[in-house]
Amino acid sequence: QSVLTQPPSASGTPGQRVTISCSGNSSNIGSNYVSWYQQFPGTAPKLLIYSNNQRPSGVPDRFSGSRSGTSASLAINGLRSEDEADYYCATWDDSLSGYVFGTGTKVTVL
């Protein structure tokens, strides 16, 4: 069972803003950097956000990340049909001495 909790699903219409939360504790999100991954069915995850709010080259600026206390969020502005995928948060956990992933959120474009 993951130590990072995400809502199972999120949805929006094209052009809307969708946010995904990731809840942890002081030993993981509260003291380490958060990354976010995007995964389409049948494919490997892809890094979307690192260091809480940094986008790798090639990731549209519609995607943004933030961290506050022991929670983090991923926002998708101007939702597009191609954003329909699963999204995972992740970070290092000092208590577990391990890298932990969130439970995952499936984003649906209505």
Are 17 and 107 contacting, i.e. CB atoms less than 8 angstroms apart?
no
Question: Helix or strand or coil: residue 82?
Answer: helix
69 vs 98 by CB, closer to another protein: 98
Task: Please give the C-alpha separations between residue 102 and each of 10, 11, 21, 22, in angstroms, as whole numbers.
Answer: 15, 18, 10, 7
Could you tell me how many residues of this chain bind another protein (CB under 8 A)? 27
User: According to CB under 8 A, which residues from 74 to 103 bind another protein?
Assistant: 88, 90-92, 94, 96-103
17 vs 97 by CB, closer to another protein: 97
Least separation in angstroms between residue 15's CB and another protein is 29
Which tokens go with 65?
A: 């990340």
Among 44, 61, 81, 82, binds another protein (CB under 8 A): 44
Which tokens go with 89?
A: 């948060």
13 vs 58 by CB, closer to another protein: 58
Among 46, 63, 75, 84, binds another protein (CB under 8 A): 46
Q: Would you call 62 exposed, middle or buried from its count of C-beta atoms within 10 A (0-12, 13-18, 19+)? A: middle
